[in-house]
Amino acid sequence: MTDLNGKDGYDRRKFLTGAAVAGVTPALAQMGAPAAAQAQAAKPPHAPSALPPNAKTIAAEIHPPEELSRVGGKPGSDFMIDVIKTLDIKYSPSNCASSFRALHESLIDYGENKSPEYISCMHEESGVAMAHGYFKASGKPLLTMVHGTVGLQHATMGIYNAFCDRVPLIVIGGNDMDAAHRPPGVPTFHAAQDINAIVRDYTKWDDTPVSLQHFAQSMVRAYTIAMTPPYGPVAISLDAGLQQEPIKEHLEKLYIPRYVPTSPPQGDSNAVKEAARLLVAADNPVIVADRVARTPNGVTLLIELAELLQASVVDQGSRMNFPNTHYLNRPAGAIPNADVVLGMELSDFWGTVNTYTDNGEDGVGVNGTRLKPTTKLISITSIDLLTKSNYQDFQRFQTVDVHMGADAETTLPSLIEAVKSAMTKDRAAAIEARVEKAKKAHADIRARELHAATVGWDSSPISTARLCMEIYGQIKDLDWSLVASEGNVSNWPARLWPIDKHHQWLGRSGGYGVGYGAPASIGAALANRDLGRFSVSIQSDGDLMFAPGVLWTAARHKIPLLAVMHNNRAWHQEVMHVQRLANFRNRVPNYGADRGPIGTTIENPDIEYHKLAESMGWWARGPVKDPAQLGAAIKEAVAVVRSGQPALLNVWTQPR
């Protein structure tokens, strides 16, 4: 038997010799315990603080079902671990539960808690979000386990975020399917005929294996589908009986299918040639990138295409697609002047080229176009291959001139070659003539951003621009990775930090579900720890309170992360929504007060996030309210993170 840290076994009979903690001996004395027992309890602790339950204790507490009695042979869950190990899944961030107890036990004992290693989570949504962040930092999917109906219900928001963000992860949900034999009471409340029904609309694929060989095929198939662009989450419902039954090798010889990666879908050659023709002929082509760069090579390819065309690139920020230091990088304001727009993996092509003004009252709004009537539109996206009907992540329909249902990164090499083939000397000369103008425009934009950042530089609460620049000043010489920032700091990192590496900005949640930032940043930090990178997050206050228990997970597993609180003491976007609607309805003049903060602020009492983090094992300081003290405080926190610990700095900030 092993303890929680995987150490050598211990003798249960000697447990009481090391069970003492402060106050145990007085407590025993008050209960009238013999002096010998009190002396025994006073010895220094050398064993775990909790006595493993014996059969009598288990029977008294939970009345174990008959299937827990000893069975001969290798349990089915051991074979399941054999299957999982072939897929090289490094971690399994999960919250423990009885419905997958057999798989859990096989993972930590038979599998020696290696590949995957069990990462203890306080909430199923945190486990999913950790896997989400981990993939974006490492390019490797993780497995998370959830408990029947209720565990999967907890996990749904995280799964939806991953679906919208095109992130692969594998969810295994425990279930007691046999109504004739499952225990009554809680296990039955937590069972369902089809637990995956609740996530089917926002997973790529799901299955319910009915045999061990079926599980082997389902697991490898699930991994293959999740890792085929467009990426996405998959789900497997796993019966508790199948996990616990012994392998009947005399009836069936089990085997594990070999995983072979699927070649991503590539754009049709004729469509690629037509797109290249339009781009080469354009006088002002604009490339808009959303989730193009699945890998660092995607960034390299996008740079090559942009430079061939001297095309402006608008990086919408769902990934780091294009360096903001490159002279062709542009804000969205470049789009209206385009004569050709190439949209790559856009979540919302309509919103990219059109305007929508909310009138604040009837919910209809006013629509308009940003484009000239003659502008040509090209789309390369794999999202069309995964569009479903219920959840509306596919946005409004946009008519385009060339439409390719294909993976954009995979299509880039052929598009680059087609552009080279279509290029004439005259067009090459005209394109080259755009270089100096583009460099000047980029320099002008940079100067304006730096000037804008100085507004309120010495304010208290601290401006978001200063918050971001003080952070960058302390990490700029490190191999840093901004693992989470929900965009509510006025996008200052993208505007001011030199971001030219794929891992330096991992993007947002995808489904914009609050509660993503903290667990996703810790999942990404887990990947970065193994890769030798420094992880930093700009942590929203309201977001943290959706899943604060994940702080304990980071401390427990020694995951170094610098979390700088953007503590504006409100869900400020909702403050603005309510205030704007009140203005449209002329509420403030009539009632003489701004009641927008009611229900939207996090004040009175103010949450002391540094104390919350400290209680879970983090180094933490705050609240920092004086901007003159911010740099030194961040420097101290950076040193702590570099030593291998998580650190949180609670900073009082302006709303945006």
With 90 as the cut, is the pLDDT of residue 46 above it?
no
Q: Is-above-0.85 flag for pTM?
A: yes
CA–CA distance, 333 with 331 (Å, rounded to integer): 5
pLDDT digits (tens, 9 = 90+) for 538-580: 999 999 999 999 999 999 999 999 999 999 999 888 888 888 8
Which helix or strand (DSSP H or E) is residue 143 part of? strand 143-147
Q: Are strands 354-357 and 233-239 parallel, antiparallel or unpaired?
A: unpaired
With 70 as the cut, is the pLDDT of residue 4 above it?
no
Q: How many CB atoms lie within 10 A of CB 80?
A: 26
CA–CA distance, 442 with 445 (Å, rounded to integer): 5
pLDDT digits (tens, 9 = 90+) for 492-508: 999 999 999 999 999 99
Identify the pLDDT of residue 59.
66
The mean per-residue pLDDT over the stretch 263-271 comes to 97
H helical segments located in 293-405: 296-309, 349-353
Q: How many CB atoms lie within 10 A of CB 626?
A: 12
Q: How many CB atoms lie within 10 A of CB 508?
A: 20
**Which domains, ranges and CATH numbers included, belong to the chain?**
12-52 (no CATH), 72-244 (3.40.50.970), 269-435 (3.40.50.1220), 454-569+606-652 (3.40.50.970)
In which band, very low, low, confident or very high, does the pLDDT at 363 lie, cut at 50, 70 and 90?
Answer: low
- Burial grade of 31 (CB within 10 A; 0-12, 13-18, 19 or more): exposed
Query: Could you check whether the bond before residue 233 is cis, i.e. omega within 30 degrees of 0?
Result: no
Two structure tokens written together for 167? 């992130």
- Burial grade of 601 (CB within 10 A; 0-12, 13-18, 19 or more): middle
In which band, very low, low, confident or very high, does the pLDDT at 180 lie, cut at 50, 70 and 90?
Answer: confident
Mean per-residue pLDDT of the chain: 90
- Residue 465 is classified by DSSP as H
Identify the pLDDT of residue 26.
46
Q: What percent of the chain has pLDDT over 70?
A: 87
H helical segments located in 139-268: 148-164, 186-189, 212-226, 240-244
Q: Which amino acid is at 514?
A: V
Which helix or strand (DSSP H or E) is residue 175 part of? strand 169-175
CA–CA distance, 539 with 517 (Å, rounded to integer): 7
pLDDT digits (tens, 9 = 90+) for 77-104: 999 999 999 999 999 999 999 999 999 9
H helical segments located in 169-295: 186-189, 212-226, 240-244, 269-281
CA–CA distance, 73 with 55 (Å, rounded to integer): 21
For residues 584 and 36, the model is more confident at 584
Identify the pLDDT of residue 63.
56
Residue closest to 527 by CA, chosen among 231, 96, 133, 33: 133
Two structure tokens written together for 8? 């050598």
Q: Are strands 366-369 and 354-357 parallel, antiparallel or unpaired?
A: antiparallel
Residue with tokens 């339009």: 278
Question: Measuring CA to CA, how many Å separate 459 from each of 313, 465, 467, 607?
Answer: 34, 11, 11, 21
Identify the pLDDT of residue 119.
98
Helix axes 124-138, 148-164, angle to 10 degrees: 30
- What does the buried/exposed string (b/e) look like for 157-166 if buried means 16 or more CB atoms within 10 Å of the residue's CB? bbbbbbbbbb
Residue 239 three-state SS:
strand
Residue closest to 353 by CA, chosen among 363, 367, 624, 117: 367
Identify the pLDDT of residue 334.
97
- Residue 317 is classified by DSSP as S
- Residues belonging to the chain: 656
In which band, very low, low, confident or very high, does the pLDDT at 47 lie, cut at 50, 70 and 90?
Answer: low
Two structure tokens written together for 563? 């979390």
Residue 155 three-state SS:
helix
With 90 as the cut, is the pLDDT of residue 20 above it?
no
CA–CA distance, 240 with 148 (Å, rounded to integer): 10
Which helix or strand (DSSP H or E) is residue 40 part of? helix 35-41
With 80 as the cut, is the pLDDT of residue 14 above it?
no
DSSP annotation string for 377-422: EEEEESGGGT--SSS-TT-S----SEEEES-HHHHHHHHHHHHHHH
Sequence-distant (≥ 6) Cβ neighbours of residue 47 within 8 angstroms:
10, 14, 15, 17, 18, 19
